[in-house]
Amino acid sequence: MRKSVPLVPRESDRLGTIQGHRDGFGFVVPDDAGEDIFLSEREMSRVMHGDRVKVRVMGTDRRGRPEGQIVEVITHVNRLVIGRLLNENGVLIVAPEDKRIGHDILIPPKGQLNAKLGQVVSVEIIDYPDSYRQAVGRVVEVLGEIDDPGMEIEIAVRKYGVPHEFSAATMKEAAALPDGVTQADLEGRVDLRDVPLVTIDGADARDFDDAVYCEPTMFGKVKAWRLIVAIADVSHYVKPGNALDEEGLLRATSVYFPRRVIPMLPEKISNGLCSLNPGVDRLCMVCDSVIDVHGEILAYQFYPAVMHSAQRFTYDAVWEVISNSNGPDAARFAQFRPLLSNLYGLFKILLSAREKRGALDFETTETQIISNELGKILRIEPRTRNDAHRLIEECMLTANVCAADFLQKNKHLGLYRVHAEPSEEKIMTLRQVLRTASLSLGGNEKPQPKDFAKLIKEIKPRPDATMLQTVVLRSMQQAVYQPENVGHFGLSYPAYAHFTSPIRRYPDLLVHRAIKAILQKKPYYPSLPERVPLNLTLPRKGQARTNASEAKKSQSASKAAGPQKGKGAAASGALAVWGQLGVHCSSNERRADEASRDVEAWLKCYYMRDHLGQEYAGTITGVASFGLFIQLENLFVEGMVHVTELGGDYYQYDEARQELRGERTGMRHRLGDRLHVLVSRVDLDARKIEFSLVKSVISERDGVRSRTLVLASDTGKPNKKAASKKSRPSSKAPKKSAGINVNAAKTAGKQGAKQSKSAKASRGKSAAIRAPGKPAGSKPPVRKGKR
């Protein structure tokens, strides 16, 4: 092999982060938020997913993308890698669970700890790969067998770098906190213990961070409603600069898996001191608002308080009381019926105001996984939502709007929850799809939320409503946290902030601190602890990518300037710090979502192994050039039909119509179409389920009619131009040999990346499986505000 000549660094070289792909190639995501730079498989042999590098653009690839060559590896990010221990031709390797890491890791003699073949292990990298050498590591933790209960979660938290163990300093600080509210805690707080505040949550909820109360009132001569939203006062216990605060910042959010939650804060706080459990005193921050009969917020104020939850309700119980006044639940909770009726009356007003405002309301089917005692799926059910869910949502929205307005009016920096308007490119694509369905989107070049709300209302009665709603939803940007307010497009709010969940979201905790600082008439400047690495990962596109790029620049500038002390320095760099915090919280939110989806995908694949060879009706939920994404109607599981499984034709992808159309037959497969498919393959490693399209053939013999299933791929020869199906190569099971070839292990590191590739190819399909009342007492003064 011809040796590549090292590049001499230049000023034009760009810094970026490696984004690996399971097929061996990758990209550099540049810090300047420019276009991603393609890296060939050969270039990727030197680096791993997540590494920081300097790259030089050398030209363009055959698809017109900028192609680069790595000049220098700045930082190797992957110190620990999770994977399975395998024996390849007498050599021990660990195959990473994260398929974006395209390197098998060589395990030298005596480096396997006490791990057995096939077990899931955590490996510490000793030597990183380059163009001619394989990565080498040693096993530092044995997690267990791949089928062990909860193993999929253990893998996910390590795969995505989710902090899952609290530090000793954090636990010590949490243990030192009192078990309840002390007399000293009550100083300067409004006493709301005589107000029958109630919590309304899901049946399986363990932490209760919000409570509500509503009563009719008069605002001057205007009839109105008084809404009290009390939120657990986490900021009273989690102080800036302490170990608890650093741990909360590091995590930034709680992560929710089926049957398990990895909390942002220790249980002493999340399920104890800051959980608004019934029958105990709790400290809270209150948004006390007055709302007229048109849903307009006439006035609001924030204040610290102490409360005593009168009742813990579930959504279903509240809905039973509201919907059936003669039912058993209505009799059981008779003393709370006036309160719940008041809340429901206000909800209907807020709902009407929401519709007039033009907030988007997508009808989506949420599902819940029902698991057995081992954590494996028994069934997947649609999650039923009733007006009790939406009632609490509207109360929380009101409090969040008031929080954002409070920050703005007092000109105090904070984190807003921003949802930018759709990009021009997305709007153009959406209009093309709508045109094919004889629909249009108003608003000309700048459609407003009302225009989208009107469109959704027109879509709902149509038979293709699901398909069209999906297209509209995909045109939206992702919501992010940032200090610059540009409004919330989806909710149609000029300003919106998260205030209602400080137990599980760090941005809410920051908003609480900012509000308290305003009440105390002094500014709040957040700091960035040196021990907490910020997650400033650049996403693929949208406002979040620009924010992350700016955050990286400000971080580099602050490091170059060195440490600065004093309030003046804190004030001058405050905007940059808030910006970095916003990107960090947004990135960790995405990370939590990815980890949760990964676990759900694994569980669904494991579940579908028992359904191989079975036929189901499904709906097309996504269309791509390489195939169709299908969701099974009864199982609520999604898989893919590859384009080569569609039969003897060449299919053209039409992005505007969201369809695959056969050139010869004219056969069309569109978003929202129903198909019959066969579960043909399950790949646990790749978290993929593959379907084959089936057709029914009715035959009659001796007066007896019979139905036969035929695979679409068997009904004709594929067109020569049809894309080849990308599947993993044939597998061979790990060898359970009596011993390990020590000599082979010693020399394997010299065999280079070439052996790594061949080992991976021989492993291939190892996981692929085939088969055929009371008033609120004296009211505190209400600050009149104009929104």
Summarised one tens digit per residue, pLDDT across range 456-469 is 999 988 887 877 88
Percent with pLDDT over 70 in the chain:
86
Residue-averaged pLDDT of the chain: 85
108 close to 160: Cβ distance less than 8 angstroms = no
Residue 183: pLDDT over 60: yes
Q: Does residue 492 register a pLDDT over 90?
A: yes
Give the residue, 648 or 109, on which the prediction is more confident. Answer: 109
* Residue 120, pLDDT above cutoff 90: yes
Closest CA to 640 of 632, 631, 651, 629: 629
Backbone angles phi, psi at 158, to 5 degrees: -80, -35
Q: What is the pLDDT of residue 414?
A: 96
Give CA separation, 240 vs 145, 198, 237, 528, 697, in Å: 41, 30, 10, 10, 69
pLDDT surpasses 60 at 381: yes
Q: What span, in angstroms and rounded, lies between the C-alpha atoms of 277 and 271? A: 9
pLDDT bracket for residue 131 (50, 70, 90) = confident
Residue 767 confidence (pLDDT) above 50? no
Quote the CA–CA distance of 524 and 547 in Å, as a whole number: 22
Query: pLDDT tens for residues 156-178?
Result: 999 999 999 999 999 999 999 99
pLDDT range class, residue 697, cuts 50, 70, 90 = very low
Give the residue, 101 or 558, on which the prediction is more confident: 101
Mean pLDDT to the nearest integer, 404-420: 97
Read off the pTM.
0.86
CB contact at 8 A, 124 and 86: no
User: What is the 8-class DSSP label of residue 539?
Assistant: -
Residue 570: pLDDT band with limits 50, 70, 90: low
Helix (H) or strand (E) holding 348: helix 337-357
CB under 8 Å to 127, separation ≥6 — which residues? 133, 135, 136, 137, 749
CA angle 420, 425, 428 (to 5 degrees): 110
409-418, 444-453, 651-660 — most confident range:
409-418
Which pLDDT band holds residue 779 (cuts at 50, 70, 90)? very low
179 vs 174: CA distance, rounded Å: 10
Q: For the CA atoms of 85, 88, 92, 98, what is the dihedral angle to 10 degrees?
A: -40
Rounded CA separation 679/672 (Å): 19
